[in-house]
Amino acid sequence: MIHGKVPKHSKYLLSPFLLAIALGAFAQDHSELPDFTEEDIFMDIPQIISATHLSQKLTEAPASISIIDQQMIEASGALNIPDLFRLVPGMQVYHVSTNKMAATYHGMSDDFPSRMEVMINGRSIYIPMLSTVIWETIGISVVDIDHIEVVRGSNVPTHGSNAFLGAINIITKSPVSESGTQFKATTGALGTENFTARHSNTLAEISYTLSAGSQKNDGIEPYNDAGRNKYVTITGSITPNLSDTIHFDIGATNGYAYRGDGDKVDPIEADFSPREHRSNFQDLRWNRVLNNQSEFELRYTHNYLKLDTENYNAEELAVLESVPVAVAELLLAANNGIAPKDNERGEVDTHDISAIYTAYPTEKVSTVTGASYRYERARSDVLLQQATSHLEGNTLVVEYPGIGVYDWVDENRWKLFGNIEYHATDDITLNIGAMFEESSIAGGDISYRAGANYALTDFSTIRAAYSHAHRMPSLLEANSFYAVDLIADVDIYTAPYRSMESEEIESFEIGYLQLWPEYSSHIEVRAFHEEITRAMVRGQKIPATDDDGDLDISNNNAEWTNQGFEAQFKYTSPATHQSSFLLNYAYNYTDGLWDRGYYPPELHRTESLNNRTPLHTASILVSTKPTANSLIGISHYYMDHVEWLEGFSDKNSGRTNYTRTDIKLSNTFTLDTNSEIELSLIVQNVFDKEYAEFYSNNTFDRRTYLQLGLTF
């Protein structure tokens, strides 16, 4: 802000009397004070970035927020959405199999990372049946994304239980911002054949985008863990007047992804089989500007997902169990035909209705208050068979109506939440937020956060924040029961244990953010201490009436602390043909214990969790535009050795630390003012330094792709 004074002369001296005559329209009402005042000129104009449901500046938010912008998305050459999170400090991304991906924050995960909320335009895509996000079923692809906001650190007070360690909000491109049609085709490694199409238009009252895609590949040798996904979505905005905006987002997907045990070298032992998916979702959001100081939003969303896997037939089961076919047939009959090749199957339905009221009562205060109700239900003949259990002495007694008996299990969840932002002085911004959650299966919890930001300059700030939050058990964690009738006896693999408590996290962080807006550049540092207690980590054994020692219970059986720091530096040159440099680094020291229960039954086992999080994670993205039409993007990723909570756990396993370098070369050919062709070459792991992700034989070698885009 720069100040000036003009020399005194009369250029602007207008006679108020003449003006009054000119403004005859005002003469209609002489008794009322005009409703246009100085406060209209000094009003707040909402910003775009949101971490607390409030529109906030990054420098005033009570959390670290990483933005993955369009330039980063283009330069990274990422072919799937989770790969983009490699560009976020402290996040880890891995292929569980070629077509099943996972993304976690601060490690400590199996193939179902459960402690981050993920949203598309604010709609949660977290699947309570599996306590995770199933990325291949979400109904959008990289080309649909405008930008992604990642809140690093617990964000439960804003987004609820699932945002235990953080929250991701994927913002898709708005139909208002583009019009026309785009096609993109990608072919290359692993028999990849991806096609996407987008068409956007604005009609009389409605702006919409129709997006569809088909993705397939053959997987890696020797597993041939292929995958295919098709999706179609329609998103849009209806703006009947200045105050009302209605957004809608409707879509459906179907396809399959092969699942198996990538720790087994022998593909027959690895036993990959397809897991089919079918999903649909509807999201309707009405936003109304009530007056100059308040807004209201009402939202309804519905998500449906069905996962299906094959059952072994009698011949296959006979081979697997080394029994005669006749016995296998008896086994199938005893289990209602349920003999899944993969356990990940079932149906899940969630309905969510929420209301949010945002107010700006004074120049210094902004508030948001809201309430939501969610009904979710799931059923699975494998994961959610009907059973109850109780302890007799130290032994778990499981009671069930019969093997393969299952029905819907459901949950009602209420949320009340609020955040107040108070500008105590020009330099100090305080944020206090709280969330009360009440669940029909887990009782009630209050989570809260307090943050203080001190502005060193207009563009730099230091921040301290404390949060105390909870994660409630999901439908799966509260109800999991899977048993197999072996005729001679019943083998129980998982059973409900007791009413579990919520996981708890206490976190404290100090952050520093320096922006250089003229270069779209910044440096951001976050030091954190997180203490997680009563964590639910699968894999606790308990002596049970089924005493073959492989009964897992869900329990509050782990605790750990994370301490470390994360940093991001981004520099963008202001030159016409832009170049940019992005560096992410995270150091996270984890110290914790995992109660594995009794295995063998006479031995109580506790494991260290210290190696379940990579100590160092880093990434670099360099991009440059040598000409107006060309792009070179080079990304380099490093992840330290980690033992995930699932799969092969051995320091001698193939999963050592790894580095990977990707490159994207792209050139655009302009056909006319409205049309262009873009040709890209993407090489992942360009130096062919083969490494294993998640499972020890789930290898990632050099993969080359060719991409052709057409816009008109």
Identify the residue among 141, 150, 200, 292 touching other proteins (CB under 8 A).
292
Residues of span 441-480 touching other proteins by CB under 8 A: none
**Does the protein bind other proteins through residue 424 (CB under 8 A)?**
no
Asked whether the beta carbons of 75 and 664 are under 8 A apart, the reply is yes
Nearer to other proteins, 295 or 595 (CB): 295
Binds other proteins (CB under 8 A): choice among 237, 385, 617, 696: 237
Touching other proteins, residues 568-587 (CB under 8 A): 572, 574, 576
- Give the Cα separation of 383 and 416 in Å (integer): 31
CA distances, 485 to each of 330, 397, 476, 681 (Å): 10, 16, 21, 53
246 in contact with other proteins (CB under 8 A): no
Q: Using CA atoms, how far apart are residues 253 and 471, in angstroms rounded to an integer?
A: 29
Asked if 600 interacts with other proteins (CB under 8 A), we say no
- Shortest CB 207 distance to other proteins, Å: 6
Question: How many residues touch other proteins (CB under 8 A)?
Answer: 71
In angstroms, what CA-CA distances link 165 with 470, 532, 544, 710? 10, 10, 33, 39
Kindly write out the interface string for residues 46-85 of this chain, putting x where it contacts other proteins by CB under 8 A and - elsewhere: xxx--------x----------------------------
51 token code pair: 């971490």
Q: Does 651 bind other proteins (CB under 8 A)?
A: no
170 closest CA partner among 155, 153, 151, 186: 151
Binding residue (CB under 8 A) for other proteins from 122, 242, 485, 539? 242
Residues 6 or more apart whose CB falls under 8 angstroms from that of 95 comprise: 101, 102, 693, 694, 698, 700
Q: Which is nearer to other proteins, 11 or 651 (CB)?
A: 11
C-alpha to C-alpha distance for 511 and 526, rounded to whole angstroms: 4
Looking at residues 175 to 214 of the shown chain, list those that interact with other proteins (rule: CB under 8 A): 176-178, 202, 204-205, 207
Query: By C-alpha distance, which of 125, 103, 115, 202 is closest to 165?
Result: 115
Angle between helices 314-321 and 325-334 (to 10 degrees): 110
Looking at residue 512, its amino acid is Y
β 552-553/490-495 pair status: parallel
Q: Which of 363, 407, 548, 688 binds other proteins (CB under 8 A)?
A: 363
367 - beta bridge partners? Answer: 359, 420
Using rule CB under 8 A, residue 673 touches other proteins: no
> Is residue 393 involved in binding other proteins (CB under 8 A)?
no
Question: In 3D, which of 614, 601, 590 has the Cα closest to residue 549?
Answer: 601
| Residue 660: both structure tokens together | 């990977």
Q: Which C-beta is closer to other proteins: that of 41 or that of 268?
A: 41
Which parts of 544-573 interact with other proteins (CB under 8 A)?
572
Asked if residue 438 binds other proteins (CB under 8 A), the reply is: no
Q: Is 518 in the site for other proteins (CB under 8 A)?
A: yes
| 347 counts as binding other proteins under rule CB under 8 A | no
Binding piece for other proteins, criterion CB under 8 A, among 75-83, 240-248, 592-600, 608-616: 240-248
In the complex, minimum distance from the CB of residue 530 to other proteins, in angstroms, rounded to a whole number: 32
Q: CB 46 → other proteins: shortest distance, Å? A: 6
* CA gap 600, 399 in Å, rounded: 23
The contact pattern for other proteins, residues 138-177, with x = CB under 8 A and - = no contact, is ------------------------------------x-xx
Write down the least CB distance from residue 616 to other proteins, Å. Answer: 31
Residue with token string 């001698």 = 652
| Residue that the structure tokens 């490690």 belong to | 107
